[in-house]
């Protein structure tokens, strides 16, 4: 984990009051990603996520130039690391929710994490994140769903909403294989940066991609499945509930992700 010297707020060492607010007030958004040789795959996607979240949650954008400046200051001379960029406002609390303005930017640097797993067994669980299109800091529900899936003997939870649509997982997006086609489920969810990077590279990897509604009854009809996030370009899904899958073409999926170049901060 990061220590105090690795956490900056608006480019300066974090003050105790700001850290206390972040710990106690569950209102904000973030993005996180691997820095490779000083660059980031899909940096444009992460910047767009932060700017859209700032406008929706606080009423004012930070500005791409300012975000890049703060990211660069956080990374410093590190060539490879993991960077989390969070948005918050100490003026906002449960008693004072109405403030509008440019949020503060908190950066935290960590060692790059290992992929989530080599393969996973998933349990469908009825759940949908609040404001699912946002990568927000309210994580109680997804942690509880993942915890309950693991208590039932699975590795993680795959969310199915009230309309029966498969959406996303606790920390990742999911793709299904149908022949040489990747099927991304269509439902309220976070548009993952890793998902977008894989999609961008599918044609060069000899695959195609489509987005369409997927319901629980459809799951046995697919040939395979994989999960992806910024730490895990592609991880095989061994099974969902009691249905087992054939291994997906991980080399092709990982090649699709890797074909997207790092963008300099």
Specify whether 123 is located in the same domain as 204: yes
So what's the pLDDT on residue 129? Answer: 95
Residue range 223-231: mean pLDDT, rounded: 97
Q: Which of 80, 110, 140 is the last residue of a domain?
A: 110
133 DSSP β-pair partners = none
Instruction: Give per-residue pLDDT as tens, 64-123.
Output: 999 999 999 999 989 899 999 999 999 999 999 999 999 999 999 999 999 999 999 999
Q: Are residues 184 and 253 in the same domain?
A: yes
Give residue for tokens 């092709």. Answer: 252
Question: Can you tell me the distance from the alpha carbon of 174 to that of 195, in angstroms, rounded to the nearest whole number?
Answer: 8
Clarify whether residues 92 and 172 are in a common domain: no
- 248 band by pLDDT with thresholds 50, 70 and 90: very high
Q: Are 260 and 145 in a shared domain? A: yes
How far, CA to CA in Å, does 2 sit from each of 46, 51, 108, 240? Answer: 21, 24, 6, 34
- Residue 224 clears pLDDT 80, i.e. is over it: yes
Element (H, E) at 178: strand 173-178
Least Cα distance to 10 among 99, 124, 86, 115 occurs for 86
Distance CA 230, CA 208 (A): 21
Tell me: pLDDT of 4 over 60: no
- 3-class DSSP assignment, residue 155: coil
Task: Provide the 3-class DSSP secondary structure of residue 238.
Answer: strand
| In the predicted structure, residue 145 carries a pLDDT above the cut 80 | yes
Based on the fold, state whether residues 43 and 144 are members of the same structural domain.
no
CATH code for the domain in which residue 148 is found: 3.20.10.10
Cα-to-chain-centroid distance, residue 85 = 12
Q: Which of 70, 85, 110 is a domain's end point? A: 110
Distance CA 173, CA 165 (A): 14
Q: Give the chain's mean pLDDT.
A: 96
- In this predicted structure, what is the pLDDT of residue 1? 55
Q: Which helix (H) or strand (E) holds 18?
A: helix 16-24
Q: How many residues does the chain have?
A: 265
Q: How far apart are CA 248 and CA 98, in angstroms?
A: 48
* Least reliable range by pLDDT among 4-18, 182-196, 213-227, 231-245: 4-18
DSSP 8-state assignment for residue 4? G
If asked whether residues 41 and 165 sit together in one domain, one would say: no
Question: 167 in helix, strand or coil?
Answer: strand
Confidence of residue 5 (pLDDT cuts 50, 70, 90): low
Q: Where are the alpha helices (DSSP H) in 76-213?
A: 140-151, 193-201
The H-or-E segment that residue 126 falls in is strand 119-126
Check whether residue 81 and residue 207 sit in a common domain.
no
Q: How far is CA 219 from the centre of its chain?
A: 23
- State residue 108's pLDDT score: 97
User: Does residue 148 share a domain with residue 53?
Assistant: no
Given this model, what pLDDT does residue 2 score? 59
The domain containing residue 78 runs over which residues? 4-110
CATH code of residue 89: 3.30.470.10
Contact 61, 29 (CB under 8 A): no
Instruction: Verify that 252 and 158 share a domain, yes or no.
Output: yes
pLDDT over 90 percentage in the chain? 97
Residue ending a domain, among 110, 128, 149, is 110
């Amino acid at each position: 984990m990061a220590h105090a010297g690795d956490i900056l707020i608006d480019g300066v060492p974090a003050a105790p009051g700001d850290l206390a607010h972040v710990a106690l007030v569950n209102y904000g958004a973030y993005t996180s990603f691997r820095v490779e040789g000083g660059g980031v795959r899909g940096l444009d996607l992460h910047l767009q996520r932060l700017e859209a979240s700032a406008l929706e949650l606080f009423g004012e954008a930070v500005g791409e130039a300012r975000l890049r400046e703060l990211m660069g200051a956080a990374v410093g001379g590190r060539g490879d690391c993991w960077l989390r960029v969070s948005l918050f406002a100490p003026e906002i609390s449960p008693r004072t929710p109405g403030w509008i303005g440019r949020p503060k930017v908190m950066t935290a640097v960590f060692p790059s994490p290992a992929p989530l797993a080599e393969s996973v067994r998933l349990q469908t669980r009825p759940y949908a994140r609040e404001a699912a299109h946002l990568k927000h800091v309210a994580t109680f529900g997804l942690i509880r769903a993942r915890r309950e899936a693991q208590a039932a003997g699975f590795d993680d939870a795959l969310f199915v909403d009230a309309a029966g649509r498969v959406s996303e997982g606790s920390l990742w997006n999911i793709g299904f294989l149908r022949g040489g086609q990747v099927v991304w489920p269509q439902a309220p969810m976070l548009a993952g940066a890793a998902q977008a990077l894989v999609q961008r590279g599918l044609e060069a990897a000899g695959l195609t991609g489509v987005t369409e509604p997927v319901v629980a009854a459809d799951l046995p009809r697919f040939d395979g499945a994989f999960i992806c996030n910024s730490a895990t370009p592609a991880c095989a899904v061994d099974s969902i509930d009691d249905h087992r899958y054939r291994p997906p073409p991980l080399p092709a999926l990982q090649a699709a992700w890797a074909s997207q170049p790092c963008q300099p901060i």
